[in-house]
């Protein structure tokens, strides 16, 4: 995780009220968005709440998918819709802070982090490698922190720890984990469906009214 994202999660965990106030006072504007993007290149001695606010601004004021670091103002209606939804994003901070209160944050290259925990049997490594999440422009806010999905898949290929991967079939097809068990998660994508892959047996959810094991009979 790069320094800015690490700071964001640290501030959200430890100073949620300060971050919520800073984000509440942030206008939905091109000027602020541009300043947040350019300001990230020269952090210097910037206060950690300000660093976290800039990350929040870029993630919430930008487009989704491969255009992640572009502002969302393509039309007046889109601008109004986006601006009206920012309050809800701030309101969610308190709940998110409570959920991660006891979470440890790691600042390391993904492959290095996997190498440190892959042999621990009490660990489950979850990787979301969907193209519009992992590979989106801006998913990593600094270029040097980016890593190709195939590098991550190679790193977990021989893991003793449990591994669960969420990815399109095309992402896994040519990787060392292509023989792992998988199940569809019902996310249609253009060109490739999304599946869960694991080095453990994936339990399947039975039908809600399947009574065959309860002495009854299904209609």
Alpha helix segments (H runs only) across 47-122: 48-61, 76-91, 93-99, 110-117
Q: Return phi, psi of residue 29, to 5°.
A: -145, 150
pTM of the model: 0.62
Beta strands in the chain (DSSP E): 124-128, 162-168, 181-187, 194-198
Between residues 140 and 101, the one the model is more confident about: 101
pLDDT band per the 50, 70, 90 thresholds, residue 197 = very high
| Residue-averaged pLDDT of the chain | 77
Say if residue 117's pLDDT is above 60. Answer: yes
Over residues 153-187, the pLDDT tens digits come to: 999 999 999 999 999 888 999 999 999 999 987 66
The answer to whether 42 touches 35, Cβ cutoff 8 Å, is: no
pLDDT band at 141 (very low <50, low <70, confident <90, very high): very low
Q: CA-CA distances (angstroms) from residue 53 to 78, 83, 98, 136, 141?
A: 22, 16, 19, 21, 14
């Amino acid at each position: 995780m790069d320094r800015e994202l690490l700071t964001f999660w640290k501030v959200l965990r430890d100073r949620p009220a300060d971050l919520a106030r800073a984000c509440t006072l942030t206008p939905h504007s091109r000027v602020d968005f541009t300043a947040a993007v350019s300001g990230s290149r020269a952090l210097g001695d910037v206060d950690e709440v300000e660093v976290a606010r800039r990350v929040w601004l870029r993630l919430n004021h930008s487009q989704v998918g491969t255009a992640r670091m572009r502002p969302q103002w393509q039309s007046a209606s889109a601008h109004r819709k986006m601006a009206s939804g920012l309050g809800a994003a701030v309101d969610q901070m308190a709940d998110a802070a409570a959920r991660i209160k006891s979470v440890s944050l790691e600042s390391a290259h993904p492959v290095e982090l996997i190498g440190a925990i892959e042999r621990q049997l009490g660990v489950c490594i979850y990787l979301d490698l969907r193209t519009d999440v992992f590979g989106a422009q801006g998913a990593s806010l600094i270029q040097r922190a980016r890593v190709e999905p195939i590098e991550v898949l190679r790193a977990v290929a021989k893991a003793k720890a449990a591994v669960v991967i969420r990815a399109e079939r095309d992402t896994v097809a040519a990787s060392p984990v292509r023989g792992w068990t998988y199940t569809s998660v019902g996310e249609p994508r253009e060109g490739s469906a999304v599946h869960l892959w694991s080095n453990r047996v994936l339990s399947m959810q039975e039908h809600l009214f399947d009574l065959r094991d309860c002495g009854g009979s299904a209609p």
